[in-house]
Amino acid sequence: MNPVRNLLRHPIRTGLAIAGIMVTTAMLLDMVLLSGGIERSFERLLLGRGFQVRVSPKGTLPFDTEATIPGARGVRAVMLSDSAVVAAGPLLGASLYARRTDTLVTLFGYGVDPVAQAIYQLDDGRDLAPADSTGVLLSQASSTLLGAGIGDTVTLVARLDPQAAVAAVERRLVVRGIVHFLYDYKGQPSVAALLPLMQDLARRRTEDRVSAFVVKIRDDASLAATTERLRAALPALEINSVGDMLAHFRERLVYFRQLSYILGTISLGVTVLLVATLMTITVNERLGEIATLRAIGVSQGSIVRGVMVEGGTLTLIGGSLGVLLGVLTAEYLDRILTAFPGLPAAISFFVPEPRSLLVAALVLVLTGILAGAYPALLAARAPIAATLRSDAT
């Protein structure tokens, strides 16, 4: 009962079965990666700068709407009064313009406190100093768009009046550094400046409005309790830990998760059907041989084991090839999905995680072995004398 030799007796059917298992395994792998991949990717993004809490206007998530939080200084003071809070960084997002020769280009502006920010990483040059009211940071895309580099001066304008054809605010700023904005979509032309400057440009200074806060908690163990305390202290605001954000995110991506579960289950079902059908027919064809083996003293257990190992071998070979195919198709599918407009460039939909991959592999091999259980029982229960007599006639 050599499983490989048995499988090689029928190369076409074995080849087709392996091809079938390979494709279904690829599908299963992709669906396992999809089911939790984007959440892990998003979690990594959110925790990238170590800030575990996000604060936004009530009923919204950060930058989900144009709603803003008034009285930012007061809100920040309340948060910092909690002993578990290490830092609270205000953040304002606004649409603004920059002059390029005689035209205006549209930019996305972030108002930040450079000491407590979670939205960019410095690529080149230097960061803004806490009192640097004449400095600006550019993304690579905005640097290219404006044709400006470190040390150059750019002119940001805002509050345009179409009738008078004038801008109410205009600021000449020196480029201090080129940064990588973590939440930007690919090619987004963004700039960052100190919060008061951006509030001036966006006409948010009077009420000291910001779009959101990022909050760093001293240690992860006190995260839940601190989040609850902040909620109690600031009931008019939406306060979410990274875990809460992921829950909201999960709710929005419920479609992809459910799709991955359904397609993953179908893939497993197809694998079971394929292996079980193939093994049943193979066993039926070899009943005479099996009966002979039983007649010369081979135990029922050995027969059952042999058939199940054959099913497992088939699944293992198809599954191994399927993993390779799955990795390739995951890359292709990821390229499709990451083209979603407005999606941060750092997000990925298909993220491999050792634990989930191991679980998927185990489930697949067990599925293959179990799919061989029914034909194995058929083989073991075949009446020896009757089968031999029937085979002889």
95 binds other proteins per the rule CB under 8 A:
yes
Instruction: Report yes or no: 368 and 308 within 8 Å, Cβ to Cβ.
Output: no
Closest CA to 379 of 288, 314, 311: 288
Dihedral, CA of residue 303, residue 304, residue 306 and residue 309, to nearest 10: 180
Return d(Cα 345, Cα 129) in angstroms, integer.
Answer: 27
Return d(Cα 220, Cα 7) in angstroms, integer.
Answer: 54
* Residue of the chain from 77, 273, 324, 384 that contacts other proteins (CB under 8 A): 273
Closest CA to 157 of 171, 144, 142, 143: 171
* Residue of the chain from 98, 237, 303, 316 that contacts other proteins (CB under 8 A): 237
Smallest gap from residue 300 Cβ to other proteins (A) = 24
246 binds other proteins per the rule CB under 8 A:
no
Task: Give 251-270 as a DSSP string.
Answer: HHTHHHHHHHHHHHHHHHHH
65 binds other proteins per the rule CB under 8 A:
yes
Nearer of residues 177 and 326 to other proteins, judged by Cβ = 326
* Residue of the chain from 6, 24, 139, 315 that contacts other proteins (CB under 8 A): 24
Q: Interface residues for other proteins in 305-344 (CB under 8 A)?
A: 329, 332-333, 336-337, 339-341
151 binds other proteins per the rule CB under 8 A:
no
Q: Interface residues for other proteins in 155-184 (CB under 8 A)?
A: 158-165, 167-168
Closest CA to 91 of 132, 51, 56, 44: 56
270 binds other proteins per the rule CB under 8 A:
yes
57 binds other proteins per the rule CB under 8 A:
yes
253 binds other proteins per the rule CB under 8 A:
yes
**Helices marked H in the chain — which ranges?**
3-8, 11-46, 72-80, 140-146, 195-201, 223-233, 242-252, 254-285, 287-295, 300-337, 354-371, 373-381, 384-392
Residues forming contacts to other proteins in the complex (CB under 8 A) are 12-13, 16-17, 19-20, 23-24, 26-27, 30, 57-59, 64-65, 67, 69-70, 95-97, 104, 106, 158-165, 167-168, 235-237, 251-255, 259, 263, 267, 270, 273-274, 277-278, 281, 284, 288, 329, 332-333, 336-337, 339-341, 391
